[in-house]
């Protein structure tokens, strides 16, 4: 399954037009539009509510437009340590985790696609399985192991953030390996082999032949990893203490306080979603490819 197939524009040639087709087309657009409204509904509530001031905001009035625009809720959300520090923590977490995981994934993907060793056919499915495991099934050993290494929560000067980065690098390896393996598999063997005829070893072939053509795969892999790390909750929850909280933990904690004003909750949720949304809007095509890779080969 490829994204090219998805993006291919299907022509209208050969279609027999029946007299019903104008109605069919109208209904089609109506349904598409209704669905779009359904998907945008939460965004509407988030934005509209976040723009209201504390006097105007109310839960029953969530569908009403703000009478006067106010940014006070964003200010209030950003002033909360859980959000501001969480945001910074998440950046410090997600950027290195996605970079390092992608680099290791590139090496693995290259080897598994183009420089196979005996047993590579067994190793690859074993790596893939790591992508699908319920993380609950590693949680108890993981917390013990990281506690013993002094990399968890309070014992660690970064509040567990460093250990959490390692965890995301490791559990990201299956998907990054898969993305790069699929990508390199699509590159002709001749390029690799001609470089060998020139006497280049594996590392040189990897660095000077494979990597220069791999930026698209890097895009897919980085975005996928960045999104999953940014949005992770479970690992951050067990690994970090207050000062190391990623934004999802901070967001959850402040939103669970009954007294938080509705507009501040929405503003916080918006702030927490901004980076991944931005990535999606700007680099949506890469995002899509990551999704397709995540489904293996259908």
Partner 1 sequence: MRRIRSWWPGFVLVLPTLVLLGIFVYGFLGWNIRVSFTNWRGFTQTNGFVGWRNYAELGENEVWWRDVRHLLVFTLVFVAGSLLFGFVMALLLEKGVRGENAFRSIYLFPMAISFIATAIVWRWLLDNGTGLNTAGINKLFAYLGLGFLRSDWHKSDSGWAIAAVALPAGWALSGYVMALFLAGMRGVSDDLREAARIDGAREPQVFWHVVRPMLWPVVMSAVVILAHISLKTFDLIYALDLKSPKIETPALYMWFQTFQGNFYARGAAVATLLLLSVAVFIVPYIWYSVRTERRR
Whether residue 175 contacts residue 183, with contact meaning beta carbons closer than 8 Å, is answered with no
Nearer to partner 1, 157 or 277 (CB): 277
Residues 53-72 interacting with partner 1 (rule: CB under 8 A): 59-60, 62-63
**Identified binder of partner 1 from the candidate list 26, 28, 54, 213, rule CB under 8 A:** 28
Which residue blocks in the chain are alpha helix, DSSP H? 3-7, 21-50, 72-79, 81-114, 120-132, 136-148, 161-185, 189-197, 202-205, 215-231, 234-239, 247-255, 262-282, 284-294
Residues 195-254 interacting with partner 1 (rule: CB under 8 A): 196, 201-203, 206, 227, 230-231, 233-234, 238, 248, 251-252
Whether residue 228 contacts residue 172, with contact meaning beta carbons closer than 8 Å, is answered with yes
Smallest distance from partner 1 to CB 155, Å: 15
d(CA 106, CA 50): 41
Smallest distance from partner 1 to CB 199, Å: 10
Nearer to partner 1, 111 or 161 (CB): 111
Nearer to partner 1, 157 or 282 (CB): 282
**Identified binder of partner 1 from the candidate list 20, 55, 69, 121, rule CB under 8 A:** 121
Exposed (0-12), middle (13-18) or buried (19+): which is 205, by Cβ within 10 Å? buried
> How distant, in Å, are the alpha carbons of 183, 206, 226 from that of 202?
18, 6, 29
Segment contacting partner 1 by CB under 8 A, of 76-84, 124-132, 153-161, 211-219: 124-132
Q: Tokens in use for 95? A: 């950027």
Q: Should residue 294 be labelled a site residue for partner 1 when binding is judged by CB under 8 A?
A: yes
Whether residue 287 contacts residue 99, with contact meaning beta carbons closer than 8 Å, is answered with no
Nearer to partner 1, 92 or 128 (CB): 128
Smallest distance from partner 1 to CB 76, Å: 16
Nearer to partner 1, 90 or 157 (CB): 90
Q: Should residue 276 be labelled a site residue for partner 1 when binding is judged by CB under 8 A?
A: yes
CB atoms within 10 A of CB 112: 21
Residues 144-173 interacting with partner 1 (rule: CB under 8 A): 144-145, 167, 170-171, 173
Segment contacting partner 1 by CB under 8 A, of 4-12, 71-79, 157-165, 209-217: 4-12
Whether residue 172 contacts residue 97, with contact meaning beta carbons closer than 8 Å, is answered with yes
């Amino acid at each position: 399954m490829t994204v090219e197939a998805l993006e291919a524009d299907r022509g209208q040639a050969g279609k027999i037009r029946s007299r019903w087709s104008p109605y069919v087309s109208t209904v089609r657009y109506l349904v598409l539009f209704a669905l779009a409204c359904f998907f945008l509904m939460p965004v509407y509530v988030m934005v509209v509510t976040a723009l209201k001031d504390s006097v105007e905001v109310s839960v029953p009035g969530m569908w009403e437009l703000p009478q006067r625009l106010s940014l006070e809720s964003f200010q209030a959300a950003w002033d909360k340590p859980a959000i501001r520090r969480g945001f910074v923590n998440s950046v410090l977490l997600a950027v290195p985790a996605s970079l390092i995981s992608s680099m290791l994934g590139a090496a693995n993907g290259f080897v598994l696609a183009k420089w196979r060793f005996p047993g590579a056919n067994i190793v690859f499915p074993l790596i893939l399985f790591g992508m699908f495991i319920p993380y609950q099934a590693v949680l108890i050993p993981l917390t013990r192991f990281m506690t013993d290494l002094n990399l968890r929560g309070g014992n660690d000067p970064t509040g567990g953030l460093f250990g959490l980065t390692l965890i995301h690098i490791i559990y990201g390896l299956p998907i990054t390996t898969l993305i790069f393996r699929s990508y390199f598999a699509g590159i002709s063997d001749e390029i690799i082999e001609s470089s060998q005829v020139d006497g280049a070893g594996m590392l040189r072939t990897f660095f000077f032949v494979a990597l220069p053509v791999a930026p698209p795969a890097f895009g897919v892999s980085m975005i996928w990893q960045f999104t999953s790390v940014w949005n992770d909750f479970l690992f951050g929850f067990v690994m970090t203490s207050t000062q190391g909280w990623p934004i999802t933990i901070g967001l959850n904690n402040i939103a669970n306080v009954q007294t938080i004003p509705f507009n501040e909750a929405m503003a916080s949720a918006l702030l927490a979603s901004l980076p991944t949304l931005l990535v999606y809007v700007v680099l949506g095509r890469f995002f899509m490819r990551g999704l397709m890779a995540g489904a293996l080969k259908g």
